A = this chain, B = another copy of it.
Amino acid sequence: MALNIGVIGVGYWGPNLVRNFTANQRTHVLGVSDLNPERLAFIAARFPGVEITEDYRDLINNPKIDAVAICTPVFTHFEIAKAALEAGKHVLVEKPMTSTSSQGEHLMDLATQKNLVLMVDHTFLFTGAVRKIKEIVDSGELGDLYYFDSTRVNLGLFQHDINVIWDLAPHDISIMEYLINARAEAVVTTGADHVGNGIEDVAYLTVYYPGNVIAHINVNWLSPVKIRQTLIGGTRRMVVWDDNSPSEKIKVYDKGIEVLQTKEKLYETLIQYRTGDMYCPKVPQLEALMMEVDHFADCIEKGEKCLSGGDLGLKVVRILEASEKSIKQRGKEIRLG
């Protein structure tokens, strides 16, 4: 029997979830809600049979519904997710999970207590590229990590309620947290607002990890070109991921340095270079959202550990929150828990 899903919010992203939950054999979209009747009409025309309502509580209170997907503005996530969990529904919530980390902790506690799945829609974790990189990192092929350096810039859609950090950086932060097996220590974020409305359109995040591992994220709504590039340096190999490249997304370089201690000069280190072949692994062409929807069903039905669960979602929110504090104080270091 299929899981019955309610989709709350069918503006820009919601319809994609409706489509994927519909296409999946294990899930069925029972109803959708939106404050805007036009959006509801749009869904009704394309997905006949789906119940529509302007009040999300109709979905949450519907005993036939097993789980809800929440695709509303960020500031509403907490209230809706909380209500849904309290009503005993599993939750898939749009990224970022909440506006504050205390909200996120509250949701986590609630989900644990109620034994419900709380998953965050960090879609990138379900792409063929990120899964391949995860595989490479976990295999130990790169050795120990040196750094993670990501650039995500283009002439982007300005958001009215959130700055470029909350808009674009959740992608990079979720990937970084997924790949780096350590607890982020501190955040330093700089940036600027060029419109004058207090909403930064350019931001540079530095995240410190233990062992001198450093991460950096460059996000920008005002770039004339679209760049989606991530460099990952390791002691043994290094990866360049260019998400714009249609056929050569991931390149693994057999390059690095070797640090030698010379006998004569005890205090001097000698650094040698090593360069070898590069290879470009075949990246499976997965439909990320289809994989994600399937994983959500697995988590509910089989109790699988959630790849992008509330714990990851909370880590992302903590870094976003710290970045927000830091950027408003010109890069003041904000320590994480």
Per-residue B-contact encoding for A261-297, CB less than 8 Å = 1, 0 else: 0000000110101011111111000000000000000
Nearest CB on B from A22, distance (A): 14
A13 sits at the interface (CB 8 A) = no
Q: How far is the CA of A246 from the CA of B244 in the complex (A)?
A: 9
Stretch in A84-92, A95-103, A122-130, A219-227 touching the partner: A219-227
A230 to chain B, nearest CB (A): 12
Report the bound CA distance from A70 to B188 in whole Å.
Answer: 38
Question: Do B204 and A204 touch across chains, with their CB atoms under 8 A apart?
Answer: yes
Contact B216 A155, beta carbon cutoff 8 Å: no
A45 at the interface (CB under 8 A from B): no
Task: List CB contacts (< 8 Å) of A146-170 with chain B.
Answer: 146-147, 149, 151, 153, 155, 158, 160
Q: Please state if A253 and B224 are interface contacts (CB–CB under 8 Å).
A: yes
Is A113 in contact with chain B by the CB < 8 A criterion? no
Q: Of B223, B226, B280, which one neighbours A278 at CB under 8 angstroms?
A: B280
Flag whether A136 is at the interface (Cβ < 8 A): no
User: Could you tell me if B331 and A257 are in contact, using CB atoms closer than 8 angstroms?
Assistant: no
B-chain residues with CB within 8 Å of residue A231 when the two chains form the complex:
153, 220, 223-225
Q: Is A212 among interface residues, defined by CB-CB distance under 8 A?
A: yes
A257 contact from B191, B222, B276, Cβ within 8 A: B222
CB within 8 Å for A280 and B282 given contacts A194-B146, A240-B225: no
Residue among A231, A255, A277 with the most chain B CB within 10 A?
A: A231
Q: Which of B149, B193, B277, B329 contacts A220 (CB 8 A)?
A: B149
B212 to A223, Cβ gap below 8 A?
no
Known contacts A223-B238, A280-B279; A188/B191 CB under 8 A? no
- A193-235 residues with Cβ-Cβ distance < 8 A to B are 193-197, 202, 204, 206, 208, 212-214, 216, 218, 220, 222-226, 231, 233
Q: Is the CB of A257 within 8 A of B158?
A: yes
CB of B206 within 8 A of CB of A193, answer: no
Q: How far does the Cβ of A61 sit from chain B's closest Cβ, in whole Å? A: 33
For residue A330, CB closer than 8 A to chain B, the reply is: yes
- A328 to chain B minimum Cβ distance, whole angstroms, is 12
Distance in Å: Cβ of A156 to nearest Cβ of chain B: 9
Which residues of B have CB within 8 Å of A222?
146-147, 233, 238, 257
Interface contact B214-A192, CB-CB below 8 Å: yes
Q: Is A50 an interface residue (CB 8 A)?
A: no
Q: Is A33 part of the contact surface with B, judged by Cβ < 8 Å? A: no
In-complex Cβ contact of A206 among B238, B248, B331 (8 A)? B331
The answer to whether A259 has its CB under 8 Å from any CB of chain B is: yes
Q: Do the beta carbons of A280 and B277 come within 8 Å of each other?
A: yes
Q: Which 3 A-B pairs have the closest CB atoms?
A: A188-B331, A224-B253, A190-B206
- What would 18 A/B residue contacts be, using CB atoms closer than 8 Å? A149-B202, A149-B218, A151-B151, A155-B275, A191-B214, A192-B208, A196-B259, A202-B233, A204-B204, A208-B330, A222-B233, A222-B257, A224-B233, A224-B278, A226-B247, A251-B280, A279-B279, A332-B332
